[in-house]
Each structure stands twice: as C-alpha cells, then as structure tokens.
C-alpha cells in the first residue's frame, strides 16, 4: 500500500486500562486528556485482545504473528521475525520506551529489532532497589494485597515494588511520568527523522495501585480505615462492599494518573507540530475485573471487561468518527507496516485497519478470537484454557478445559448477565467453529484442533 505522505507513528500502550475509563465508552473515570484526544480520532468501538495476557500480547504486537498456538509467557525465540526489521528495511527509525518489565527483562528480548530502546526500571517485581526496611515483614501488612485466604502473604514482587518506590518524592517520579518524559525527550531529539515509529508502553494502571492521594481523593474522599487493596487477589471477590469501593477508587485513581501523563505526551506531539504528519495510536493490552461477576483481576472468565479494549487512532488525513469495524490487537502490526509502505513479511497475519481508519470501510474481521497463553502456550496435554470468541454481537466464553459454557448477546445484554448457552446453542456452535478454524489457520497442530473439538461433546 502506498503511503500518502512521509508519516510517523506514535504507538501508546497502557496495560490494564479499561475502556470504561473513557467517556466515549461509558466512562467511570476522570480522563479528560484522552477524552479530548478521542474527539480527533477514529474510535474503534469493537476492538479485542488476541493472544493473552501481557507478554503474549506484546508478542503479537512486535511480530505480527498470532501467538495463541505458538508462544506462551516465554522469551521471544531468535528465529521469529519481527516487524521492526521490516521497518528498518523501509528506512524507518524505530524506538521502544517501556516501563512494562516482563517482555524486556530476564532475556525475553521482545525489543529485538528496534533501532533503539529504553527500559524505565522498577515496576512490580523488578529487582532494582535495596532498602533496609523489610517490606515482607508483618510491619508491612498495611501495604499488602487484601485477601482473607492468605492474610500474611505479600503477592509475588510487591516487596520489590515497595522498595523501588521508597525513594519517590514527587508525581514526576511515578513510572508513567518517567516513561512519558523519556518519550517527550526522545521526540525533541529525534523528531527530524524522515519516518519514525515510537512505541511508548506503560505498565500503569496495572496493579499495584499507588497514585498520589490527590488522584485518589477524586474517587474516594471519605474516611477509610480498612486495608488498602493496592494489589487485589485474583479470583472470587472476598471483599465487602466498602472495600470493593476502595479497590475501584484505587484503580480509577491510577487510570487518571495515566491519563494526565499521556496528556503531557499528546500536548508535546501537538506543540511540536507532529500532528500534521504523525499517526497516533492509543490502546490497552487488556482490561481488569473490579468486582463484576463476583470476580477480581484477570486470567479468569474472559468477560467484556477484560477482552474488549479501547482503541483510538488519530491520522492527519482521517475524519474523526466511531467505527463498528471489528478489530483485534493482531491487526495493529499490519496497519503500522501499511502506513509506512513497508513490505509485509510472511509471518504477519492480521488485517490492516488502515481502510477502516481512512473511512473506506466500516467492515472489519468476521470474528475476534482471544485465548490465554501462559508458559509454553497451550497444547492438548496441558493448561487450563480460557478464551472468548465474538462477532461483535454474540460473545462465547471458553472455560472448563477449553469447552464453552457461557454465551451472551451483547446488544441486549452488554453486562453479560443472561447466559444464553442453552437457548441459543446454534450461535454457540457457530462461534466455537470459528475458534477451531482460527486455530487451524494460525499454526495449531491438527492434534490440538482435534482435542479442542472433542472438548465440546454432544
């Protein structure tokens, strides 16, 4: 596809940013920066996760290849092609700036191929700082996750996080602020490149939630003397109503912090005149359950709160509007490649969203498939598969070793409260067949497809 002008792309990823943080998606948060930005964008109303969660999602983004059947939560193999190399061949300078740690540390190497990259250290379990205070001791329980089943146990990595933020003095020391400022500094030094691709990947508002108190006061200014659920347990919600309210406030405060600093980046882009020749993408990698369906966190039933993500695309030649085009995260890499007019390598499997962005169509893919991929990926002899298949109207959840058991009609039941699996079995079978076809088309061995097929018995 020919590019119309010399273009740049700034690709902003926010981990665990629920779509309902934004007013355009029914906003429950305070996000004025992104709300204002959305008015200049093509807003995708039906955008979904593909491989899942954090590391597999980054694998989809940097390779363009569906990872569901090929990769789990694991280092990126050296023989897997990456789109950064395709961009280099097209004369595009690529830069990754990330504080999301998992796909960069421990030799995971998902930054491979980028012209340059910077890792903002310290998020979650990153072993960055030492501190004489024992954050794993009983004295630190006021900071711990709230769970009645393991009341004296810190979640993995939280002690490291607390050590890493012990020296924080101002809001500018928060990780999202450091990441955004690094991106702004990079733009000042590099904006004169003929073409550049800048990926800005912030882990916030992923837990632990520790936004400055002035953000929290927007959502919960009343007295609260309970335990602070800054890192909630994953699973059924053990909290009472007041504690769940506090959890929601902590999350929304963190999302508001993210909005403020992404707003700083968007203002920098505007002030530098880059809006004239730069496409800006804002997206989340996935969402989070805040008590809906009686559940907390993710890696559980893949309801809309988890798999249905915000996707905003600004293009200087596109007319701002909403589009119903069904999109998947795997469609982002070919979009990036097409904007730059680069050659699409053989491994790139998604569908470019550029026609939908430019208003040539509001038709997207027929189905969006989401599937969990932990260590080693899924195989017929291992794992506890969980996923979602949607056509934008119906949503089928996979549980119980990959067998579907929940079906929802989204237009009439957006909160997914009425399970229609028994009454609309034909729709469930259609969606499940789409899942099987997707596996077969994207690298699954025949035995794996057969095993999934056998998991739904008459």
For residue 261, pLDDT beyond 80: yes
Q: Where in the chain are the domains?
A: 8-370, 378-458
**149-163 average pLDDT score:** 68
Give the 3-state DSSP-derived string for 94-124, with helices as H, strands as E and coil as C. Answer: EEEEECCCCCCCCCCCCCCCCCEEEECCCCC
Neighbour count for residue 77 (Cβ, 10 Å): 12
pLDDT for residue 379 is more than 50: no
Among candidates 161, 176, 175, 164, which has minimal Cα distance to 124? 161
Residue 118 pairs in a beta bridge with 97
At 214-254, the pLDDT tens digits run: 999 999 988 898 888 898 888 899 999 999 999 999 999 99
| pLDDT tens digits, 30-66 | 999 999 999 999 999 999 999 999 999 999 999 999 9
pLDDT of residue 156: 65
* Averaged pLDDT for residues 263-284: 98
According to DSSP, residue 401 is labeled: T
- Mean per-residue pLDDT, 193-221: 95
CATH code given to domain 8-370: 3.40.720.10
pLDDT at 370 over 80: yes
- How remote is the C-alpha of 370 from its chain's centroid? 12
Question: Per-residue pLDDT for 4 more than 50?
Answer: no
pLDDT, tens digit, 9 for 90 and up, residues 137-148: 654 555 554 444
Torsions phi, psi of 407, nearest 5? Answer: -135, 135
pLDDT tens digit string along 315-347?
A: 999 999 999 999 999 999 999 999 999 999 999
Kindly indicate whether the domain formed by 378-458 is annotated with CATH number 3.30.1120.10.
yes
Residues 115-137: pLDDT tens digits? 999 999 999 889 998 888 766 66
Q: Which has the higher per-residue pLDDT, 458 or 276?
A: 276
């Amino acid at each position: 596809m020919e590019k119309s002008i010399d273009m740049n792309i700034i690709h902003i990823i926010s981990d665990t940013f629920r779509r309902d943080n934004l007013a355009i998606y029914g906003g429950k948060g305070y996000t004025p920066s992104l709300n204002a930005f959305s008015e200049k964008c093509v807003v995708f109303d039906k955008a979904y996760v593909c491989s899942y969660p954090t590391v597999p999602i980054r694998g989809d983004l940097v390779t363009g290849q569906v990872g569901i059947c090929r990769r789990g939560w694991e280092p990126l193999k050296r023989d897997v092609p990456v789109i950064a190399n395709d961009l280099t061949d097209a004369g595009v300078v690529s830069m990754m700036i990330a504080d999301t740690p998992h796909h960069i540390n421990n030799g995971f190497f998902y930054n491979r191929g980028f012209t340059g990259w910077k890792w903002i250290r310290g998020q979650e379990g990153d072993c960055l700082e030492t501190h004489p205070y024992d954050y794993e001791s009983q004295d630190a329980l006021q900071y711990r996750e709230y769970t009645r089943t393991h009341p004296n146990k810190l979640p993995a990595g939280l002690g490291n996080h607390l050590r890493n933020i012990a020296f924080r003095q101002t809001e500018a020391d928060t990780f999202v602020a450091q990441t955004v400022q690094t991106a702004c500094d990079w733009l000042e030094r590099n904006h004169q490149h003929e073409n550049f691709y800048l990926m800005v990947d912030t882990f916030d508002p992923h837990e632990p939630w520790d936004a400055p108190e002035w953000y929290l006061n927007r959502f919960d200014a009343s007295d609260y003397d309970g335990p602070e659920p800054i890192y909630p347990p994953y699973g059924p919600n053990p909290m009472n109503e007041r504690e769940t309210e506090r959890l929601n406030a902590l999350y929304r405060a963190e999302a508001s912090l993210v909005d403020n600093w992404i707003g700083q980046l968007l203002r920098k882009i505007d002030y530098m005149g880059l809006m004239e020749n730069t496409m800006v993408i804002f997206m989340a990698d996935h969402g989070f359950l805040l008590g809906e369906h009686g559940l907390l966190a993710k890696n559980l039933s893949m309801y809309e709160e988890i798999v249905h993500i915000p996707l905003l695309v600004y293009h200087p030649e596109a007319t701002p509007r909403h589009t119903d085009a069904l999109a998947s995260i795997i469609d982002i890499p070919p979009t990036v490649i097409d904007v730059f007019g680069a050659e699409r390598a053989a491994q790139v499997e998604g569908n470019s969203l550029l026609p939908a962005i430019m208003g040539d169509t509001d038709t997207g893919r027929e189905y969006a498939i989401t599937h969990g991929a932990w260590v080693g990926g899924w195989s017929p002899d291992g794992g506890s598969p969980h996923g979602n298949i949607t056509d934008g109207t119906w949503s089928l959840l996979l549980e119980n070793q990959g067998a579907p058991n929940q079906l929802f009609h989204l237009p009439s039941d957006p909160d997914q409260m009425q399970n229609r699996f028994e009454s609309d079995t034909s729709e469930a079978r259609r969606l499940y067949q789409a899942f099987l076809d997707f596996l077969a088309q994207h690298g699954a061995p025949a035995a794996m497809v057969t095993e999934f097929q056998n998991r739904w018995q008459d």
